[in-house]
Amino acid sequence: MSTALVQRHDRRRFVKAVSAGVGGLILWPACLRAGSRQREAVRFIVISDTHVGYHGQDRAAGLWEKTAAEIADAEGDVVIHLGDIVDGKREDQYPIYLAARRRIGKPVHEVPGNHDPAELFRKHVREKVDTVVDHRWLRFVLVNNTRTDSHDGFLSDEQIEWIDRQCRDAAGRDLLVTLCMHVPVHKNLHPDRGWYVKPEDGQTKLYETIRKHRDRVLALLHGHFHNGIRGWDDHPPVHEICFPSALYNLNRRLEEQGAPGYNPLEFRPGYTLVRVAGTTMQLRYKPLGEEVAVEKSLELLKG
């Protein structure tokens, strides 16, 4: 049996720190306070950066086929793919990706990555690129924030206004929200990748929108980094998470070098099992063909 690396927040210490900052009062997001007892756990699976056709070779397609076979039997009702479906804009690789996707036997919803031109995504994956998917009481807002000529992210004013409308609509339906886009919004510098949505390219306006809906938005989910699970929780109550690549991940020694946020030490290709229940989001990183190697619990607290 493989040894699992368990990384969990020290809840008592975190709660104590938050309490000190708000006069001893702990505030759960209103949507969670009101509905946590009634809402049943939601389970979904996150994959990213399959890069089918990587360097013109068959290895990525083989890994994706094995990953899809595992996901078919994994715990989770919905699959979210966070972009870079194929590698290098290779149109001939989309049918290969889709053939394995069909064998999963559960809904799969993608966003484009910077290797997925919007016109090819519309042709092969989904005509409506920016869209929403409602699963029970959780709304996934799927947004394309990539360009094929840059590693950075970009959000137009129109997209941010659309995100605002989706959050307002979710509130009217008593749905919670996760935002799904390939490139992270959170600022990151060396030793990180340095790839994110810059303030002038939509970061500032998106954060303003999220603050308007802070009792509705739980998390921002991203791919792009190839660094295993990489996340930040310094914009509470929203968590910002980059998920592992199904093809390859690199150890950039972020925690060793004191980079902000967290980056558990697991970098094998894999996918993540996510469970949201009550006031907790649990991430379980599953390397391909192995047991779960990392578990991380995120408290959905209001800052």
| Average pLDDT per block of 10 residues along the chain, 303 residues long | 38 38 38 59 98 96 98 98 98 98 98 98 98 97 98 98 98 97 97 97 98 96 98 95 98 96 98 95 98 96 48
Beta strands (DSSP E) in 82-150 are: 108-110, 131-135, 138-142
Instruction: Say what the pLDDT of residue 278 is.
Output: 87
Q: Which residues of 257-282 are buried (b: 16+ CB within 10 A; e: fewer)?
A: eebebbbbebbbbbbbbbbbeebbbb
What domains can be seen in the chain, in order of their start residue?
5-299 (3.60.21.10)
Inter-residue contact 60 to 54 (CB < 8 Å): yes
Residue with tokens 């840059």: 150
Q: What is the pTM of this model?
A: 0.89
Instruction: Say what the pLDDT of residue 21 is.
Output: 37
Inter-residue contact 246 to 64 (CB < 8 Å): yes
Inter-residue contact 48 to 82 (CB < 8 Å): yes
